[in-house]
Homo-oligomer: A and B are copies of this chain.
Amino acid sequence: MIVGYGPYVDSIADLITDQQVITSGMMKESERCRAALDAARSGKRVALISSGDAGMYGMAGLAMEMAAADGDHIAMEVIPGVTAANSAAALLGAPLMLDSATISLSDLLVPWEMIVTRLEAVAAADLVVSLYNPRSKKRVMQLEEATRIFRAQRPGTTPVGIATAVGSADQQVVLTDLDHLLEQEVGMRSVVIIGNSTTCVMDGRMVTPRGYYEKKDREQE
């Protein structure tokens, strides 16, 4: 049996043969998990579908949490995937070569004050950051605030990459900088990658160089 958000199930249409399929809309994550767990409990072999990596802002954790709350010992296997930050990074160049963080700007699951604390910590520690759920039609303040926080710690020329709807027909990749980020089209299907103090644009690609020690490395050769 296959359980998932409609568009994600559509994207694996070529893999579906005679399996039973259960789809549901956005924001119905718990309902989908419940259906998957009930089916597994009844002896079915169930695939619960996420986009990207199921263990990064996906369904793996919720399924485990709900199974544990039920006191159930359901056998589960997480199939790791390419998380959105990594697909975005590959299209932009190589911005995640060294230490980085992924932070979701959605305050549905984490209080906004905690997200601000994390953005400030990551900005100050010169980590490259991948922002998930950066902006939606209703939610525009969060990306403005995140940009302000990074701008306070990094120059306006710091490279920023935006990859939207990666892998779909309307995939878009934009290379900009902190000072021009808010003018760009950014939506719920975008990942925004903000470089650190060493990130630069090389031949049209966003690259975080291999190390402060590149010179030393060359001398060692």
Contact = CB atoms under 8 A, between A and B. Distances in A.
A68 B214 CA distance: 14
Contacts of A76: 205
Given A90-B55, A100-B102, A118-B127, A108 B211 contact: yes
A43 to B, nearest CB: 19
A15 B31 CA distance: 41
Contacts of A114: 126, 212
A86 interface: yes
Interface stretch (A77-85, A136-144, A168-176, A180-188): A77-85
B97 A30 contact: no
A11 interface: no
A18 interface: no
